[in-house]
Amino acid sequence: MPLPAWIAIGLLLAVALVVGLGALRLRAISHRVGSFECSARPAGDGQASWSLGIAHYGVGRIDWWRCWSLSLRPSRSWRRQDLVIVSRRPLDGDRDLFLVECSYEDVRFELTMSSGAYAGLASWLEAAPPGRRGVVV
């Protein structure tokens, strides 16, 4: 077999390996108990693109992973005591999808999530230990 054919086969195998590892990572994150689909973008910029992701409740924090990444670490982590829900509203008339504006350490961002995921987030924040303030639900 000529050398260009071997190079093409090697490239195809490398691409298949990367795609397979990405799919395994995404499956592992999304099947954890306490995980939910959640897209994110900076607040106030309606033209900013959404980053698809999966959030997961941890002990005292929420970790957020980008869907299209091979990183084993979350892209963002928000501690419960510093995360505040500023507002929420249905997204474009869809009753099951909410646009949730949040603030974390004076940085505002928006999340989209299902109504069930929002109910879980609001409950998780409300269930914080005594002394937690500033939660607007």
pTM score: 0.79
84-127 confidence digits (pLDDT tens): 999 999 887 767 899 999 999 999 999 999 999 999 999 998 88
4-28 confidence digits (pLDDT tens): 899 999 999 999 999 998 888 888 8
Contact 58, 47 (CB under 8 A): no
Contact 84, 104 (CB under 8 A): yes
Q: Tell me the β-bridge partners of 36.
A: 55
Contact 63, 54 (CB under 8 A): no
| DSSP string of 16-74, one letter each residue | HHHHHHHHHHHHHHHTSTTEEE-EEEETT-TTSPPBPEEEEE-SSEEEEEESS---SS-
